[in-house]
Every structure is written in structure tokens, then in C-alpha cells.
Chain A
Amino acid sequence: MNETIRELLGKVGGLPGPVAELADDADLYAVGLSSFASVQLMLGLEEAFDIEFPDNLLNRKSFASIAAIEQTLTHILKSKEAA
């Protein structure tokens, strides 16, 4: 999961520095993730994991760092399993 996120972030994130050097808890907005790029990232993640982000998770916090995205995805995948 971490790898997929990093790969997508590299592809659509438009960040100035290399994604490999980012810590899991680095603030993605502070390193330059634009709102347009964050939506592209969300779309990529939806496709890669075959999920849909529920509206209540579409906020800055859910996508603030690689770790936060992992947590958001894990939460969605778990509730999908439970359903």
C-alpha cells in the first residue's frame, strides 16, 4: 500500500522533490501538494484499490501525509470487507 501511494504521488503529485525522500508523516501540503494534484491522487487511489472515498473522508486531514492516506485507505478497505 505504501509503495502504491508513493508511486501515484510521484506520478500525479507534482511535488518539487523526490517522493522516496519523503517521510511517511511529512505534511504533503507543506511540501507542495496542490488541491488539484490531491484530487488526481485520490482518483488514482480509487482506481488502484477499487474503492470510493466517502464524502466524510474527503478533507485535508485524510490526505495530509502518506501515513494519513494509508490510515484512510485501511479504514475504507476494512469497512468494505465488513459490508
Chain B
Amino acid sequence: MSLAALATDLSLSARAHRVAAVAAEFAETVDRDARFPEEAVNAMKAERLLGIQIPARLGGEDATTLELAEVCAILGQSCAAAAMVFAMHQIKVSSLVEHGEESAWHIDFMRELAARQLLVASATTEGGIGGNLRNSICAIEIDGDTCRLSKDATVISYGTHADAIMITSRAHDKAAPGDQVMTVFRRGQYSLEKTVTWDTLGMRGTCSDGFLFKGEAPAVQIFPKPFAEIAAQSMLANSHLLWSGVWFGIAADAVSRAQAFVRAAARKTPGAQPPGTLRLAEASSLLQMLKSNILCGLKTYQQAKADPDHLSSMAFSIAMNNIKLASSETILTIINQAMIVCGIMGYKNGTPYSLGRHLRDAHSAQLMISNDRILGNTSTMLLIQKPDTSLLG
């Protein structure tokens, strides 16, 4: 397809590829300077990607989780940080779409999000809870029609760049740590005082700084559903599936670079098999397995969506946990294989085969919700839930 034809192609895939081209151009500086991928996010807004998940009758495009994951994978091949910002935003939007329909305020907010391409951030982590987002220390204070919240949020990815923050807290000052609600605060309704700087090995552009959050807003902005249900029914699946989409993108680009390296070598010495080809074949097999894993998860989620009981069942949680575990571990093996194929040209920065950023970004996958915590949860559930032994589901 010619560039001119691509420029007018309004399919989701073409729009995502145009954003990916912008993201790729700035990926190195975003990574080096640990700065927000502003150009890529502006391109997402220009291509109107931020609201695609919102129902069409509210101005969105009814995009499915499968379509969102595909966009994540396309962006992930260019700039993992920009792709992760997109994924995290869409995970928040999924909670609005799945649980916001009962409240007039949340419906209006969705309409505005789609129209004005608002970027939404998340504040679920808190100092002192040990990384378990299903517990809160802070409690929301409801005073007539107003709610107030102060939270030591140790991570709010792209917090200062967002147009709204969805934040968890205990439901009231006497609530148990697990009795939580989630509230949407719009920019202007909160202040952020930076407490921690995000200077990390990889995923440097997500700017996941820590902040002291202080907000005041109309109480109607609190989700009517308990956060426990939101977490189980929309956040769990969307997080693991969309993150996996991003990770697939990182691994897929690593395999493409390895293949380019092998092909260049093969063209220089026709008749001889370059040394890296077997490893490339292995990496391609792993990449296919990763793809099947994610697609299987997307299908499981699509089927479970029709039944809220199934969405909060152990079988479903285990399935989603397993997808996250497998994706986050497999990408490291794949990128490592690609690195061995490309050798010193992959290890060096600034070559067409550089894989340092891929490897560093990919290392975040095992840690964003620690795999050990996920294994722990699954192992508890397997004391009672039978393992899934069917092939067709």
C-alpha cells in the first residue's frame, strides 16, 4: 500500500500503525531521558485511539479486547512505554465501560472521554500495603455531596500527564482494608505532590512516579460497584491480556530484528547457513506459542463476559493468571534468543539490531504484579479448583 493510501486508511490497524511510526521515531529518546512519550500519545489522540473502547452510542467505536490487544501489540513493536501507556489507559476505560453504565456521571464522562480524547491514569498502589492492590489503607471521606481523599500513591504512571485519575480507597473510615471503592477524579479536582522518581531499568517512559494525592470531587464520581467486583470482572482480565499484547509486541520486534540479522548474513554468504538460524527458528516457535496463549486468553474472556458469575470464578482467575505468567516469562526467553542471534550487534545500542531496550523493557513484565504473588494466589485456588484439562474449553 502506498503512503498516501495508508494515510487515508481509517481501519484500526492502519491508525495504530501510523501511531507506531511516530512512537518508533521517539522511542530512543523517551527511553534515554525517561520522559513521557508525548508525541506518540498525541498521535493516539489525533488518530482518536483513546476512546475506541467506549460504546458507539457514547461516541466511541465499541472496540473489543481483541482489537485493543492488537493495537497494544502494534505499538509494542515500536515503543513499549507508549504501548504500555495506551494499555494502562484502556484498562481504566474497561472499568468505566463495564461498570460505569449504572451511573449518569460515569456515562457523561465516557462521552467526554471519547469526544475530547481524555487520558486516564490509575492509582491503585499505596505505601504500606505491600503491593496488594486489593487492600487500601486510605479511606474516602464522604461529606454530603462531596468526597475527599488523600492517598500516599507510590506509583501513578503518567500521573502528571493524565486528564483524570481513577483511584482506590477504603469505602469509608471504618471499612476493612479489602472493602474498597474506586473514584474518578478529574484534573483540577486533585493535587499531586511528587514523592518518588521513576528512574528504572526499563519502561522508563511510563513515568510511574509516586505522589501524595489529595482530591476533592462530587461524591457521584465514586463508582457505585465495590472495587472487588471491578477488579475481578474487568481489571484482572484486561490487565493481563492488554499487557500481554504489549509484551508480545516487544518480543515480536526482537524476533524481526534477529531475522533481519540472519537474512543480512545469509545474503552476504550464499550457500552457507548463518550460525544464528536455528535459534531464530526456536524463537519463532516460542513467539507463536506466546501468540496462541494470548489469543486463547482473549477468547476465554470474550466467552466469560456474558456471565458475571464466571468472571468472578476461580477457573477464570486461574486462566488469566496463567496467561500473565506465561507471557511475561516467555518474552524474556525469546528476546534472549534474539540477542544471541544478533550477537554484539544486538548488545550494542544504536544498531538496526539493538535489543538492549527490548530486554530492559521486558524485564518489567514479571514484576508488574509480581509473578510470585500471582503464583501464590493460583496455588491457593488450586487447593480446591480442579485444573483445566480440556483442549476445547
Contact = CB atoms under 8 A, between A and B. Distances in A.
A58 B178 contact: no
A23 to B, nearest CB: 16
A58 B385 contact: yes
A61 B311 CA distance: 11
Nearest to B179: A30
A42 B384 contact: yes
A56 B179 CA distance: 25
Contacts of A29: 178-179, 226, 228
A64 to B, nearest CB: 10
Interface in A20-37: 29-36
Given A29-B228, A32-B179, A36-B380, A55 B385 contact: yes
Interface stretch (B17-25, B248-256, B267-275, B312-320): B312-320
B310 interface: yes
B377 A59 contact: no
Given A30-B226, A39-B381, A46-B384, A56 B178 contact: no
A46 B385 CA distance: 12
B7 interface: no
A39 B380 contact: yes
Nearest to A61: B309
A59 B314 contact: yes
Nearest to B229: A60
B338 to A, nearest CB: 38
Interface in B151-205: 171, 175-179
A41 B178 CA distance: 18
Given A55-B386, A58-B385, A60-B232, A34 B310 contact: no
Q: How large is the interface on A (under 10, 10 to 19, 20 to 34, 35 or more residues)?
A: 20 to 34
Contact of A31 (B176, B312, B381, B386): B176
A1 interface: no
A56 B381 CA distance: 14
A59 B385 contact: no
B383 interface: yes
A53 interface: yes
B340 to A, nearest CB: 40
A17 B312 CA distance: 26
Contact of B312 (A16, A46, A55, A61): A61
Contacts of B385: 55, 58
Given A39-B383, A53-B384, A60-B232, A34 B312 contact: no
B178 A32 contact: yes
Interface of A: 16, 29-36, 39, 42-43, 46, 53, 55-56, 58-61
Given A34-B178, A55-B385, 6 more contacts: A30-B176, A32-B176, A35-B381, A55-B313, A59-B309, A59-B312
Interface of B: 171, 175-179, 226, 228-229, 232, 309-310, 312-315, 377, 380-381, 383-386
